Amino acid sequence: MTARTPASGGAPIIDADGIGRTFTRSEGPLFRRRRRTVTAVRDVSFQVTAGEIVGYLGPNGAGKSTTMKMLTGILSPSAGRLRVTGLEPSRQRTRLAARMGVVFGQRTTLWWDLPLRDSLALTRHMYRVPARDHARRLAELTELLELGPFLATPVRQLSLGQRMRGDLTAALLHDPALLVLDEPTIGLDVVSKSTIREFLLRLNAERGTTILLTTHDLGDVERLCRRVIVIDHGSLAFDGDLAALRDGAPSPRTLVVDLAAPSEPIEVPGARTVRVRGTRQWLELDGNPAAVIADVSHHYAIADLTLNEPDIEDVVARLYRREGAARELSAG
């Protein structure tokens, strides 16, 4: 197993320098339309080095998809300079397409009525993968993503998780240096999510494939990304270690406790009861969840327990509140 060697000179695989994108929207009734300029992405700069896994995060409408579209050459930037694998995406889209794999979680690139195997064979012709390489990679991916049982099934009959694994395979059969994923685990069950996460980690470790992904799932981010980039209202809000993001804006995990009988708000060290409804209580955790769970189950009769991870929106929202407060402080 040979990891993909970074290109000589250490040139970044993605190099975004002050990229921006504005849209002109026409509004109002016909003949009295007003043109309004909307900024979707403003002056965003970042670099991704070959071999990294980077999470590209932000609330809905923050400019994530617009950035993804610019990186893949679907949309041309209206400002700044962008290079992906050394190419200018909007001008060299076709050449770039052969070097990168793209998966849209909400949309399939497979052929609806064709068996998965035939869909994958078609991508081989589009990407011009030699037959022997195709067969070898397909065998590997079939094993890793457990495609075997549904290779002969038409894509329209696949479950969401199966379809997602099929789409990932289609994006990887030409062995791209860069994999761009737009919400790859959206709508998937826990097992499918985990399969895909472990697969991506292995792909990155063994093939050196660079991965850039957008997601709303903090589980994805925690399992996969050492580095995260946060974008909000079109601007870059954070670029750095995941740990730094969480330390900077700590967000408590929530323990949902179903008691056997209604009771007073639970009182245990390391947790704060924030809500009570019937037998169900919500606790915000400050300390070690294992210790809190042990305490709660020792002192109370419990029917059920659920530990909720804060989602990335929550972390990001806290980041902004903190930034806003800091701005107010410095202004005052």
- Cα–Cα distance, 11 to 94 (Å, whole number): 21
Query: Which is nearer to another protein, 39 or 273 (by Cβ)?
Result: 39
User: Is 73 a binder of another protein (CB under 8 A)?
Assistant: yes
Query: Which is nearer to another protein, 25 or 275 (by Cβ)?
Result: 25
User: Is 169 a binder of another protein (CB under 8 A)?
Assistant: no
Taking each helix axis from N to C end, the angle separating 160-172 and 116-127, rounded to the nearest 10 degrees, works out to 20
Q: Which of 41, 48, 57, 75 binds another protein (CB under 8 A)?
A: 75
Shortest Å distance, C-beta 273 to another protein: 45
Q: Which of 64, 163, 193, 207 binds another protein (CB under 8 A)?
A: 207
User: Is 102 a binder of another protein (CB under 8 A)?
Assistant: yes
3-state secondary structure of 304: strand
User: Is 1 a binder of another protein (CB under 8 A)?
Assistant: yes
Q: Which of 18, 45, 133, 275 binds another protein (CB under 8 A)?
A: 133
User: Is 287 a binder of another protein (CB under 8 A)?
Assistant: no
- DSSP state at residue 201: H
User: Is 186 a binder of another protein (CB under 8 A)?
Assistant: no
Shortest Å distance, C-beta 188 to another protein: 19
Segment interacting with another protein (CB under 8 A) among 53-61, 122-130, 215-223, 309-317: 122-130
- Cα–Cα distance, 255 to 302 (Å, whole number): 12
Residue by residue, DSSP assigns 177-226 as SEEEEESTTTT--HHHHHHHHHHHHHHHHHH--EEEEE-S-HHHHHHH-S
The answer to whether residues 255 and 289 touch, using CB atoms and an 8 Å cutoff, is yes
Q: Is 129 exposed, middle or buried (0-12, 13-18, 19+ CB in 10 A)?
A: buried
Structure tokens at 136: 């070898």
Q: Which amino acid is at 59?
A: P
User: Is 23 a binder of another protein (CB under 8 A)?
Assistant: yes
- Cα–Cα distance, 225 to 242 (Å, whole number): 7
Query: Which is nearer to another protein, 122 or 237 (by Cβ)?
Result: 122
Shortest Å distance, C-beta 139 to another protein: 9
Shortest Å distance, C-beta 175 to another protein: 7
Extended beta strands in 13-52, E state: 14-27, 34-48
Structure tokens at 253: 């995990």
Structure tokens at 268: 């245990």
Shortest Å distance, C-beta 76 to another protein: 5
Shortest Å distance, C-beta 116 to another protein: 12
The answer to whether residues 43 and 207 touch, using CB atoms and an 8 Å cutoff, is no
Query: Which is nearer to another protein, 231 or 259 (by Cβ)?
Result: 231
User: Is 257 a binder of another protein (CB under 8 A)?
Assistant: no
Which CA distances in Å does 293 have to 205, 237, 304, 305?
A: 35, 35, 11, 8
User: Is 37 a binder of another protein (CB under 8 A)?
Assistant: no
Q: Is 120 exposed, middle or buried (0-12, 13-18, 19+ CB in 10 A)?
A: buried
Give the interface with another protein as residue ranges (CB under 8 A): 1-2, 4-9, 11, 13, 23-24, 50, 66, 69, 72-76, 78, 85-86, 90, 93-95, 97-99, 102, 104, 107-109, 111-114, 118, 122-123, 125-128, 130, 133, 136-137, 140, 144, 154, 174-178, 202-203, 206-207
